[in-house]
Structure formats: structure tokens, C-alpha cells
Structure 1
Amino acid sequence: MPAPVKREDDIMAGYLLKGGKMLSKSCPACGCPLFEIKGETLCVVCREDEASRNPPPPAPAPLPAPADKEVPAGTAPSTPSLSAALEETLIELCRRIRHERDPDQVLILANAVRSGVKALKQLR
């Protein structure tokens, strides 16, 4: 089932909440107000319509997991240092999510956090 189409007001409200600036000019194609976002003037309604008609290409397939190899004693990284590095990475990803304005990037970062938490649980 296709995703429901957002109403123009909902689309514009979302961009206002993300810091977009509504201009007094209107879009020649749909008549909705134009927005200024990161220095670029655009029609957010037409942009959303176009995005819903042309979904992004699927993400590349994940790389196969490396085969388990026997590691000589004393050469494997210690679990505590690996856990600490993973925790630092997760904290940094959360900081990036907090400041990210692009919802697609937020989703990518959130998925990375989810994977990192799963890996951290497996280490412990």
C-alpha cells in the first residue's frame, strides 16, 4: 500500500519546525509559499511530491561478514577497549542525530546507533 500523501499544511509545518523560513513569494507550479532552507529557495510541497513519486534508490547490499578466523593469543583487541571505542562512537552518533535536520540522515544515523548497541550487547 502506498504511503499516504501529506497535506500541504503538514509539509510546510514540518519545514518550519526544521528551521525553514517561509517567504512571501509563491511557487509558480502549485501556488504554495516558497521556503528558504540553508540559503536555497524552493517549494517544499513540490519537493515532497517529487520525493514521493521518485523514491530514493535502495541502499547498497551490506558486505558479507568476514569469516571467523582463529586469532593467535595476544593479538586480538581487548573487549574493554573495543567496548569503550564503540560507546564513544555511539555517543558521537547521538550528538550528530540531535543536530541533523535532514530526516533521511537521521534515519541512517539512528540505524547505525541501533547496530552499534546490538554489537555492544554482544560484546558484554
Structure 2
Amino acid sequence: MASGEDDYMKRMVDALRSGARMLSEQCPVCKSPLFEINGQLWCLKCNKRVIKVRGDEEVGEALTTYTLSQTHEILASKVEEVTLQLSRAVDAEEIRKLAETLSILLKTLEQCVRLKEKLTG
């Protein structure tokens, strides 16, 4: 068995042991069985989340929700990075630039959270 297949089998075994359910539905990309993990559909071969949609309108909604979630994760990560840089900074100009960057990131993150809440809640 190739290393990729070994990884796939290990992910399947780990998922099943942790309570995931193997479904009869297939991944639209690789045709492997989908798994339900914590209420979400996953293709363990592609190692990606799968979102089912019924029509074109749902495609837009699903993409928007997914994009906002990805944006939220990226922004949160950048806030951590800038905060760490800020804690190490000693030069006043560098501190000012990092503080401005942090402020912009936090405002954008807040907007992202509001949009996610508006769409999901």
C-alpha cells in the first residue's frame, strides 16, 4: 500500500474509533465514502469538508459561509502573530505600525463575526 493510502486508512480508522459514521454517500471529487464527524460531512481521502447543496442559491450561501469561516480563521491567526510581534517590539515606530495593523485586523475580524452571525443566526 502506498503512503497516501496508509494515511487515508489511518484517518478512516481514527474517525470510526472516535465515533464518526461512514455514510453511503460519495465524495463528488474522489468518489470515496463520506463520513459524518460532529455533524459535518468529511471526505477523509481528500481530507476536506464536504457541503451538500440542493440548488444554485444554496451554493452561494454555502460558499459565503465557508469563505467567512476561512477568513475568520486567517484573521484570528494574524491577530495572534501581530500580538506576538507587538510584545517583542521596542522601537516606537514599529510599535505604532503594529498597533495600527492590530486595530485593522480586529475591526475586520469583528465585521467577519457579525456577518457570520447574520448568515447563520
Same fold? TM cut 0.5: no
TM bracket (short chain): 0.3 to 0.5
Rg: which structure is higher? 1
Instruction: Please give the TM-score of this superposition, normalised by the length of structure 2.
Output: 0.35
Instruction: Please give the TM-score of this superposition, normalised by the length of structure 1.
Output: 0.34
* Larger proportion of helix: 2
